[in-house]
Amino acid sequence: MVITGSVLGAHSAAKELSEAALSFLGSLDAAEKERVAYPLADVERENWHYVPRERKGLRFKDLLPLQREKAIALLHAGLSERGREQAEAIMSLEQVLFEIEGRSHRDAGLYTVTLFGAPSEHGTWGWRVEGHHLSVNFTLVAGHAIATTPSFFGANPAEVRSGPRKGFRALGELEDLGRELVRSLTPEQRARAILPIKAPADILTTNQRKITLAAPEGLPASAMTEGQRRVLEQIVRAYVFRHRRDVAQADLDRITAGGWGRVHFAWAGGLEPGVGHYYRVQGPTFLIEYDNTQNNANHVHAVWRDAERDFGRDLLREHYERDPHHGAANRAPESAAESSSGSGAVQPRS
């Protein structure tokens, strides 16, 4: 059996990511390595979130300058240029919040890095860089396949309203594309796409460890014009291509293989800037959620999930079926997720 999901350039990606991880590990002492390294099967791997809280791993602020540089190099190795810019912008907003609120947990030094399993070009392992409004999760399987979800990017404030950075929008593209699409719809199309509900206060899947996709709501791409479908694809690309291009292209190819006509777009809330709003894009295997309702619609939460491949679940399952002697010590993440109270489905809204 051949592992599905092999990606163009996966070997190169696995090599670069493992080299970055090993370089980071090599800069740590024994106590630091113990804090940052967990078994691949540890339930901590799926214990993800996007709020300020205590996290496992090593905090940026506790690293020496060279160590922090190497940790950031690992993050950069997994992201595209645009993704790097967005991640750095998200972290920089902690200083903006500190200046507004004066609260100690608004600190870019609180982002953490955690490794799962032994980094190797041909091995099966994972890593996470996470903190307020950012959760980047990579799972590498036998050097052949790479999973990049859950992928969460958020921004508070969504638009800086005062000071030297006034007008700056870390994730403005995500809002603008969604609004462009919904505004382009005819009245008949809007009747299908716009849900008769108030925009929710957060993404509906929150930090669930495992999601199950319910029947999609909204307007399918098969009922859109060619121009509207192009905007829909731009939305999807904005989420997928925040990761490195070779891996992202394989993810986009998989979405394309599932059929763009089966991808649905749904919107809730106001159509004007400054009014709370929410949208989601759902295909046969994936879900994108965007929410901007908090802080007077100036606080973005945006996530990309894959119901089959979050944390590399299906890739790992296929790998263990192919090489069962490799799987005995590494099957816990899936069972942990399935027994977790954080599991749930995206239910239709009425």
Question: What pLDDT does residue 272 have?
Answer: 95
Cis peptide before 150 (omega within 30 of 0): yes
Whether 320 shows a pLDDT value over 70: the answer reads yes
Question: What pLDDT does residue 321 have?
Answer: 87
- Which pTM was predicted? 0.90
Whether 240 shows a pLDDT value over 80: the answer reads yes
The mean pLDDT of 4-23, rounded to a whole number, is: 76
Question: What pLDDT does residue 327 have?
Answer: 52
Host H or E run for residue 255: helix 245-258
Query: Please, which pLDDT band fits residue 332 given cuts at 50, 70 and 90?
Result: very low
pLDDT digits (tens, 9 = 90+) for 43-56: 999 999 999 999 99
The mean pLDDT of 247-251, rounded to a whole number, is: 96
The secondary structure of 32-56 as a DSSP string is: HHHHHEE-TT-GGGG---SSS---S
The mean pLDDT of 282-290, rounded to a whole number, is: 98
| Beta-carbon count within 10 A of 350 CB | 7
Q: What is the C-alpha to C-alpha distance for residues 132 and 48, in angstroms, rounded to an integer?
A: 11
Worst-scoring range by mean pLDDT, 89-93, 253-257, 299-303, 320-324? 320-324
Cβ–Cβ < 8 Å for 261, 176:
no
The mean pLDDT of 174-187, rounded to a whole number, is: 98
